[in-house]
Amino acid sequence: MDDLITRSRVGALTYLSPTGALVDEAAQAGLLGALTASMASNQFLLVLDLSRVTVINGRSIEILLDAAAKLAALGGRLETVNPTELVRDI
**Cβ burial 32-49 (10 Å sphere, 16+ → b, else e):** bebbeebbeeebbbbbbb
pLDDT confidence bin for 1, thresholds 50/70/90: very low
Residue 86 confidence (pLDDT): 94
Using one digit for the tens of pLDDT, what is the confidence trace for 22-73?
A: 999 999 999 999 999 999 999 999 999 999 999 999 999 999 999 999 999 9
Consecutive H or E run containing 18? strand 13-18
Residue 50 confidence (pLDDT): 97
Phi, psi of 83 (to 5 degrees): -70, 145
DSSP string for 32-51: HHHHHHHHHTT--EEEEE-T
Q: Is the pTM of this model over 0.85?
A: yes
* For residue 79, pLDDT beyond 50: yes
